[in-house]
Amino acid sequence: MASASHEVRHVLTILAVAELAPALAFYRAAFSWPAVVETPVYVELSLPGGQRIGLYQREGFGRNTGQVPVTIDAGQLAPCELYFFTDDLDAASARLLAAGARVLSPRALRPWGDEAAYFADPMGNVLVLARPASA
């Protein structure tokens, strides 16, 4: 077992976005998470449970990494997904749709046991809303 000093924990996911203002508007409308960091090129939102999601304007993101991420063309998808549990799939799905998400795969019982629906945010990031199998 790893000692506590070597333990790795996930605390932050950062999405590179072409335009920060519309990305932030989407995530605020879809989830209402409070911003804990706001700069002209980066906003960090605090999720329940202590994790955070950052929205970083692509060129600013590139200054940290040394390479600007590829642009996701309209109608295309980023090569990862964000998977969220919710107790109310209907209400959470309605908020995503009202905020501008598009349905990728409707709500269904998945082979791993969760009931889940797949969406794309306006920037092409895949968002999954699920109810845990144990719920």
Where along the chain do its domains lie?
A: 1-71, 75-135
**Alpha carbons 126 and 124: distance in angstroms, whole number:** 6
Q: Is the pLDDT of residue 5 over 90?
A: no
pLDDT of residue 3: 57
The rounded mean pLDDT for the chain is 93
Residue 126, CA atoms < 13 Å, CB-side half-sphere:
14
Give the DSSP H/E element, type plus range, for residue 22: helix 20-31
pLDDT of residue 135: 59
pLDDT band at 1 (very low <50, low <70, confident <90, very high): low
- Give CATH superfamily name and number for 1-71: 2,3-Dihydroxybiphenyl 1,2-Dioxygenase, domain 1 (3.10.180.10)
pLDDT of residue 2: 52
Please name the residue that has the structure tokens 């605090």.
46
CATH number of 75-135: 3.30.720.110
Q: Is the pLDDT of residue 77 over 80?
A: yes
Cβ distance 57 to 68 under 8 Å? Answer: no
- Span 114-126, pLDDT tens digits: 999 999 999 999 9
Cβ distance 78 to 72 under 8 Å? Answer: yes
Q: What is the CA radius of gyration of the chain?
A: 16
pTM of the model: 0.89
Q: Which residue, 67, 48, 40, 51, is CA-closest to 14?
A: 51
Q: Is the pLDDT of residue 134 over 80?
A: no
